[in-house]
């Protein structure tokens, strides 16, 4: 394992590369990432990096977003099987049909969407800034894609707007049930429950707080409490244990994203040594999709 990490480190220098890793990646992949974060944080890092090569350890739409924000750079996605099922739940044809049903309604696209779908959107958002972005729009009717649960979460805070929801969801987060959390709470009565807004409404109702992954980290680090039930992909606990040592963390069963776990250290090594697999997008898609992504980043800067 050490030799493999050393090999990756040397290849990274040779290629003038940076490795971006999502919070849900395998623990060993998190360890070799230059930057760890959620979709928003990694999008920002992708837009700021001066590296020639970006190795994106996450699912497909994340690597696409890095390419959109850095069209002049080489973006490598180490394993093509690392795809987001939620992003695949919305397509351009169906989205345009929905837009035709609600003329003039702006499209807020969760960053968990493919590049061609982003190209049809007005602004992107993440779970961290979805509420703020929807609130900032002057329109009274908003099309929100593709995550129904995140859209329902936003609706809690935006009473004066009609949110048209898309029937998409995250398979990992809908696997986290209220019953699972209740059982963990029975075993750990002093634990605070933190869940992701992609969870179902009944889970969010039962939890103490709903946050993005970065929000969960900030809360746990700052809290005086010692025990936490974490309702998101269980690999998050690896980063949490490093940033909040001494705190007791519990994950519900089945909180596993198999797609995020596709990428291995061998994949990262091969991506750098063979310069595979390059993200290639049509120039028109890059041009159009960059607008909603940059609007999302600009909104984040003003937070």
pLDDT (tens, 9 = 90+) of the chain, 303 residues, equals 668 999 999 999 999 999 999 999 999 999 999 999 987 788 788 888 889 999 999 999 999 999 999 999 999 999 999 999 999 999 999 999 999 999 999 999 999 999 999 999 999 999 989 999 999 999 999 999 999 999 999 999 999 999 999 999 999 999 999 999 999 999 999 999 999 999 999 999 999 999 999 999 999 999 999 999 999 999 999 999 999 999 999 999 989 999 999 999 999 999 999 999 999 999 999 999 999 999 988 876 654
Which domains does the chain possess? 2-84+260-280 (3.40.50.10800), 87-169+288-301 (3.40.50.10800), 176-250 (3.40.50.10800)
Closest Cα to residue 124, out of 138, 141, 149, 143?
143
What pTM did the predictor assign? Answer: 0.93
pLDDT score for 43 = 78
- Structure tokens that stand for 188 in this block: 């750990």
Residues 6+ apart with CB under 8 A from 156: none
Closest Cα to residue 150, out of 217, 210, 65?
210
- Structure tokens that stand for 132 in this block: 């703020």
State how beta strands 35-37 and 141-145 pair: unpaired
DSSP state of 147: B
Q: Is 8 helix (H, G, I), strand (E, B) or coil?
A: helix
pLDDT score for 50 = 86
- Structure tokens that stand for 134 in this block: 């929807």
Contact (Cβ atoms closer than 8 angstroms) between residue 167 and residue 143: no
């Amino acid at each position: 394992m050490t030799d493999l990490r050393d090999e990756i480190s040397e290849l990274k220098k040779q290629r003038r590369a940076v490795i971006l890793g999502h919070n849900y990646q395998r623990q060993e992949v998190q360890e070799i990432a230059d930057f760890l974060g959620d979709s928003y944080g990694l999008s920002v890092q992708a837009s700021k990096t001066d590296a020639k090569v970006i190795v994106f350890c996450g699912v497909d739409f994340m690597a696409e977003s890095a390419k959109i924000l850095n069209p002049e750079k080489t973006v490598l996605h180490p394993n093509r099987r690392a795809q987001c099922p939620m992003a695949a739940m919305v397509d351009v044809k169906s989205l345009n049909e929905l837009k035709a049903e609600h003329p003039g309604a702006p499209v807020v696209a969760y960053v968990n969407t493919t590049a061609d779908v982003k190209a049809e959107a007005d602004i992107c958002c993440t779970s961290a800034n979805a509420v703020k972005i929807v609130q900032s729009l002057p329109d009274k009717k908003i099309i929100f894609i593709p995550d129904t649960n995140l859209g329902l979460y936003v609706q809690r805070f935006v009473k004066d707007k009609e949110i048209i929801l898309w029937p998409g969801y995250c398979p990992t987060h809908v696997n986290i049930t209220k019953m699972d959390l209740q059982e963990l709470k029975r075993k750990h009565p002093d634990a605070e429950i933190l869940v992701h807004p992609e969870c179902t409404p009944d889970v969010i109702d039962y939890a103490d707080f709903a946050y993005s992954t970065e929000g969960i980290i900030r809360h746990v680090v700052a809290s005086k409490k010692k025990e936490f039930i974490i309702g998101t992909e269980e690999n998050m606990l690896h980063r949490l244990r490093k940033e909040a040592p001494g705190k007791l963390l519990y994950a519900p069963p089945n909180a596993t994203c198999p797609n995020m776990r596709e990428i291995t250290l061998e994949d990262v090594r091969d991506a750098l040594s063979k310069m595979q697999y390059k993200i290639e997008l049509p120039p028109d898609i890059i041009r159009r999709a960059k607008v909603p992504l940059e609007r999302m980043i600009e909104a984040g800067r003003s937070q």
